[in-house]
């Protein structure tokens, strides 16, 4: 990624929010569109024409499907135009290099093409646009009458890099009214700061540890160090992704919009099925509504359901990245989902909850090894190291050093990845009428913000993991 999201957030965002709050309601979408395009231009100016093209295409297709809502044949034509246009752009930018590299593995074949860079948010943008067109075709959603409203929706910068995937039916009415309130503004700012803290204070710290261990820069490897490393990545990917989602939901609230929740404490899950109801919720819902159910879901017998699960999870893996390890990652989860649905379902609830949780987390943690390493041989080598194969010692001085050095961060990550802080502590504090509690709560948010700024000023390690998807 060629720009700093944090630079945009700290330099441009305050100005955008101030102008947005000042201008009349009828100009708010214009201000948001300008902010969206500044965000895109900050990253890569040359991709803006593609964004405009898709917005025009899908807006016109939506209007035409609404116009011919009683003519199924014409509706299908405009739906096809929309879907083909979005998929063509997605496949070209995201998968061309992958397909060519795969073909070049064949004997005597070598296609030399320039490396195609991935536009910002192309995966999320294309999925949102397709859901808009499909919902109009199905009659679930009315088309946007105003192109300005639709352009604002399809280019919304808070979620375009890492989600959540937003549907027009959720924010379309709000884009007309912009119900900005003092309470909503305050709640949005606090939610944004919570997400920023998760990303900067936890994800970045454990991510730095993982970057050293995964690159072999943390000293002599051991079984314990392998586990410390992958646990660090397990927390990094959660706090990075959910932190960004929190920031997006919070910013939407500031602008008077409602985004769907994307995470619900996934690391407390007691089955793989439950994990995927809690992790990246909007993506799971998208594949369920627009791929799994149209293929027949579970309505046509176990063989068709098995096929549908495999297709959906192969596509889910490929959506995350243009490499074979992502396909393997998706199929890995498909195996366990099929196992749970067809084999374990009858007696799973009788297994003690602790054992079910350990089983789930073991599967999830191993999955992150597959997810991270694009080199398949490195996946096998790292998993072998985790389970003591290959002659590695179980424990060494490096493992002890990193365990002690990052003990506080790991404890914080374990606690804040669960629901207790959100449902027990934060909800009670926010509901309190006590002025001292209110003052302490406000100071806590300011402290989180100050700590994030201090960290960002002094650190060069600040990746957004999901920007590459």
- With contact defined as beta carbons under 8 Å apart, do 203 and 288 qualify? no
DSSP string, 119-146: PTTHHHHHHHHHHHHHHHHHTSSPPPS-
Rounded distance between C-alpha atoms, residue 418 and residue 303, angstroms: 36
Rounded distance between C-alpha atoms, residue 328 and residue 415, angstroms: 31
What tokens does 219 get? 């000293």
What tokens does 227 get? 């586990």
Distance of alpha carbon 191 from its chain centroid, rounded? 17
Rounded distance between C-alpha atoms, residue 371 and residue 327, angstroms: 9
- With contact defined as beta carbons under 8 Å apart, do 193 and 448 qualify? yes
311: DSSP letter: H
- With contact defined as beta carbons under 8 Å apart, do 15 and 27 qualify? no
DSSP string, 251-277: HHHHTT--PPP--S-GGG-SSHHHHHH
Q: Which ranges of 139-222 does DSSP label H, i.e. alpha helix?
A: 147-154, 157-160, 168-177, 182-197, 204-214
Rounded to 5 degrees, what angle do the CA atoms 279, 280, 285 make? 110
Say whether 320 is catalytic.
Answer: yes
Which run of H or E residues covers position 438? Answer: helix 435-458
Counts for the chain of helices (H) and strands (E), in that order: 23, 0
- With contact defined as beta carbons under 8 Å apart, do 281 and 263 qualify? yes
- With contact defined as beta carbons under 8 Å apart, do 187 and 394 qualify? no
**Which one of 178, 320, 357, 420 is the catalytic residue?**
320
What tokens does 132 get? 């808009």
**For residue 164, cis peptide bond before it (omega within 30 degrees of 0):** yes
With tokens 């790292």, the residue in question is 382
Count how many residues are written for the chain. Answer: 469
End-to-end CA distance of the chain: 11
324-339 vs 353-372: helix crossing angle, rounded to 10: 160
With tokens 């051991």, the residue in question is 222
The residues annotated with a catalytic role in the active site are 320
């Amino acid at each position: 990624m060629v720009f700093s999201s944090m630079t945009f957030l700290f330099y441009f965002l305050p100005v955008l929010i101030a102008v947005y709050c000042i201008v009349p309601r009828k100009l708010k979408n214009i201000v948001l569109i300008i902010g969206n395009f500044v965000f895109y231009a900050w990253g890569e100016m040359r991709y803006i024409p593609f964004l405009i093209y898709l917005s025009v295409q899908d807006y016109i297709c939506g209007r035409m499907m609404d116009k011919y809502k009683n003519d199924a044949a014409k509706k299908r034509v405009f739906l096809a135009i929309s879907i083909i246009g979005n998929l063509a752009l997605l496949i070209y930018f995201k998968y061309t290099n992958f397909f060519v590299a795969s073909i070049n593995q064949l004997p005597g074949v070598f296609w030399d093409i320039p490396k195609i860079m991935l536009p910002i948010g192309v995966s999320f943008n294309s999925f949102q646009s397709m859901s808009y067109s499909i919902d109009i075709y199905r009659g679930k959603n009315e088309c946007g009458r105003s192109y300005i409203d639709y352009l604002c929706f399809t280019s919304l910068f808070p979620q375009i890099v890492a989600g959540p995937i937003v549907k027009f039916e959720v924010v379309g009415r709000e884009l007309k009214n912009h119900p900005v309130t003092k309470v909503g503004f305050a709640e949005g700012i606090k939610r944004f700061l919570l997400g920023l803290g998760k990303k900067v204070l936890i994800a970045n710290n454990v991510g730095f540890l993982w970057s050293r261990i995964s690159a072999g820069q943390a000293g002599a490897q051991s079984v314990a160090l392998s586990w410390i490393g992958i646990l660090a990545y397990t927390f990094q990917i959660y706090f990075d992704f959910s932190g960004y989602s929190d920031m997006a939901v919070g910013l939407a609230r500031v602008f008077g919009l409602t985004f769907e929740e994307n995470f619900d404490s996934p690391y407390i899950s007691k089955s793989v099925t439950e994990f995927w109801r809690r992790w990246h919720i909007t993506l799971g819902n998208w594949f369920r509504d627009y791929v799994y159910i149209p293929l027949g879901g579970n309505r046509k017998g176990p063989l068709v359901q098995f096929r549908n699960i495999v297709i959906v999870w192969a596509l889910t893996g490929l959506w995350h990245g243009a490499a074979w390890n992502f396909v393997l990652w998706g199929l890995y989860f498909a195996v366990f989902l099929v196992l749970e649905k067809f084999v374990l379902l009858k007696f799973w609830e009788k297994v003690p909850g602790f054992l079910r949780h350990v089983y789930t987390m073991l599967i999830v943690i191993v999955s992150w090894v597959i997810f991270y390493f694009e080199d398949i041989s490195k996946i096998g080598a790292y998993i072998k190291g985790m389970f003591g194969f290959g002659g590695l010692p179980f424990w060494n001085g490096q493992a002890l050093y990193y365990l002690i050095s990052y003990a506080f961060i790991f404890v914080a990550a374990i606690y804040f990845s669960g629901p207790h802080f959100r449902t027990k502590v934060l909800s009670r504090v926010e509901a309190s009428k006590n002025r001292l509690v209110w003052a302490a709560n406000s100071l806590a948010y300011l402290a989180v913000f100050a700590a994030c700024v201090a960290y960002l000023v002094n650190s060069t390690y600040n990746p957004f993991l999901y920007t590459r998807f």
